[in-house]
Amino acid sequence: MIEVRELKKSFGERVILDQVSLTVPQGTVCGILGPSGSGKSTLLRCVNFLESFEAGEIIIDGEPVGYRSVEGRREPLPRKTIARMRSQCCMVFQQFNLFAHMTALENVSIALIKVRKMPKRSALEAAEGLLGKVGLTHRKDAYPAFLSGGEQQRVAIARALAMQPKVLLLDEVTSALDPERSAEVLDVIADLSREGMTMMMVTHQVHFAREICNQIIFMDGGVIVERGDSSMITDPSSDRLKSFLRHLRLV
Amino acid sequence: MLAEMPNLVPILLSGMQATLILALSTILIGTCVGTVLGCLAVWGGAIIRILLYALVTIARGVPLVVQVFAVFFVLPVYGIQFSAMTSAAIALSVFASLTIMEIVRAGIKAVSHEQYQAALSLGFSFRDALMSIVFPQALRIMIPGLVNQGVFLVKATSVVSLFGVTEFMFVAKEQIERTLLGFEIMAVVWIMYTLICFPLTQLGRTLEARLNVRGAAQAAS
């Protein structure tokens, strides 16, 4: 479903991602671990093309993200194509980023109306259904300021799901939440993985990653240091991952 | 003394028409052009942004009376000549556009970049992201500044009385010279300016209150 090939990205002199390659098959969850600044969030943002990248390619469901090659030259895709690709792999952010001037229901329905050009009535119906799915029907008329962090993040997930994306990108979605609030968000994500949603998930919740990820990638300094299945967490092979996990008091 | 007043008030009010036309056109043009310039100041290229920054620095730094002077007396040197009223409207509109540009720019900048990115990530076009997500939130932030500037512009129209535009202040001065009723006429002037500006500030308060109910939200992120 997602294929990243030799992705390279730098800010000026600083290399953020170097020769990153990975494959996420349909219906699987790929967890990305790593210390801050290792490039894991940037990797997700590249997949959503919120960041440009200098070399390599990202392919989602057979379609290239961000760039195409025309007569051997690499050039950015038309804006419309970029927007369409984005709407097929939605991102959920650490800080929720709900639209502050809209109720929960409006937050979930707005993209259906503006992007999918759905009539308002059916968009609102679909949005209600999704809020039900994340257990927030009773909060549909609340503005983000009146929602708890966990509720906000669940609305944000519903907002992304509204687009019926092929892929869901989760960028440290529980990092701003206390353990109870993160549990309610993680439950939603676990449900999604059971339903076969393809996901890429940057997280510090190592235990959770081990439970639901089919594949785990450990990044440091812009490169993939180690990759494997969930057993990697209990049985790391690289020293770097060992020391990372030791700091988390897991090994 | 007071016997003069019934005759005076209609004369004074005849100047009010020009003041209102000037104020309204200035605010209208200033808001439209200022909004466009404000967007350019955020998303335009580096050269455009630097140019706009230079212009607004001048507009804010040079006394308004000197700016009006430039339109009245410097442009004609280059063969560009307008009626007194048009010159006044041009001078005030340029000033209004540039100062409102700053309010719009700051308003847009104050909406967090994440809001815009969240919209993009859902597949919004640039235009939809602005219209549905950024502008509605920026507007709430801009209202106090816009109202302030509107009130300032109403009052600033009095500056052009110095250049022979027969607006309210000009007529008032004429009448003072004619009747020597300085105190009485000035009292009317004070009251009238306050009366024009009052609805503006009131409108601002109403809008603020209305947007705030919906947007107690702002505390969120």
Q: Tell me, yes or no, if B212 comes closer than 8 A to chain A by beta carbon.
A: no
Tell me the DSSP string of A125-138. HHHHHHHHHTT-GG
Q: State the nearest Cα–Cα gap between B214 and chain A, in angstroms.
A: 7
What is the reported pTM?
0.82
Contacts of A235 (CB under 8 A, 6+ apart): none
Out of B120, B132, B216, the one facing A50 most closely (by C-beta) is B120
Which domain CATH number covers B132?
1.10.3720.10
Cβ atoms of A34 and A59 within 8 Å: the answer is: no
The structure tokens listed for B91 are 């001078």
Q: What is the ipTM of this complex?
A: 0.86
Task: Give residue B202's domain range.
Answer: 12-220
Task: Specify the 3-state DSSP secondary structure of A21.
Answer: strand
A47-101 per-position pLDDT tens digit: 999 999 999 999 999 899 999 888 888 889 999 999 999 999 999 999 999 999 9
In this model, does residue B34 exceed pLDDT 50? yes
Which of the residues A52, A88, A96, A97 would you substitute to probe the B interface, choosing the one with the greatest number of B C-beta atoms within 10 Å?
Answer: A97
Confidence of residue B214 (pLDDT cuts 50, 70, 90): low
Residue B7: inside a domain, yes or no? no
Q: Looking at the complex, does the CB of residue B208 fall below 8 Å from at least one CB of chain A?
A: no
Q: Tell me which chain B residue has its CA closest to the CA of residue A47.
A: B121
Angstrom distance (rounded) from CA B212 to CA B217: 8
Q: What is the pLDDT of residue A251?
A: 54
Residue B209 belongs to a domain: yes
A117's CB contacts (< 8 A; 6+ apart) are none
The answer to whether the beta carbons of residues A136 and A127 sit under 8 Å apart is no
Q: Flag whether B6 is in a domain.
A: no
Model confidence at B220, pLDDT cuts 50, 70, 90, reads: very low
CA distance A198 to chain B (A): 17
Q: Is the dihedral of CA B10, B12, B13, B17 positive or negative?
A: positive
What is the C-alpha to C-alpha distance for residues B61 and B83, in angstroms, rounded to an integer?
Answer: 26
- Counting one residue from chain A and one from chain B, the pairs whose CB atoms sit within 8 A come to 90
Q: Evaluate whether residue B196 is within a structural domain.
A: yes
Yes or no: say if B61 and B100 are a contact pair by the CB < 8 Å rule: no
What is the tally of helices (H) and strands (E) in chain B?
9, 0
**A contacts of B115 (beta carbons < 8 Å):** 97, 99-100
Q: Name the minimum distance, in Å, from the CA of A43 to any CA of chain B.
A: 14
- Rg of chain B (C-alpha set): 21
Residues 6 or more apart whose Cβ sits within 8 Å of residue B64: B95, B156, B159
**Is B188 part of a structural domain of the chain?**
yes
Q: Give per-residue pLDDT as tens, B55-100.
A: 999 999 999 999 998 888 888 888 888 888 899 999 999 999 999 9
How far does A238 lie from chain B, in Å, by closest CA?
35
With cut-offs at 50, 70 and 90, classify the pLDDT of residue B7.
Answer: confident
For residue B221, give how far its alpha carbon lies from the nearest alpha carbon of chain A (Å): 7
Gap between the Cα atoms of B21 and B114, Å rounded: 41
B128 touches A at CB < 8 Å: yes
pLDDT per residue as tens digits for the range B117-138: 999 999 999 999 999 999 999 9
The answer as to whether B71 is a domain residue is yes
* Amino acid sitting at position B66: V
Task: Classify residue B90: in a domain, yes or no.
Answer: yes
The residue assigned the tokens 């390279």 is: A8
Show residues of chain B in contact with A48, CB under 8 Å: 121
Q: What is the largest CA-CA distance in chain B?
A: 72
Residue B219 phi, psi (nearest 5): -60, -20
> How many domains does chain B contain in total?
1
Please indicate if any CB of chain A lies within 8 Å of the CB of B122: yes
Q: What is the pLDDT of residue B97?
A: 96
Amino acid of residue B114 = E
**Residue A87: which of B123, B137, B221 has the nearest Cβ?**
B123
Short-list B96, B95, B93, B85, CA closest to B167: B85
B126 chain-A contacts, CB cut-off 8 A: 79
Q: Is B171 within a domain?
A: yes
pLDDT beneath 70: ranges in chain A? 249-251
- Neighbouring-strand partners of residue A31: A201, A216
Chain B residues close to A160, C-beta within 8 Å: 122
pLDDT at B219 exceeding the cut of 50: no
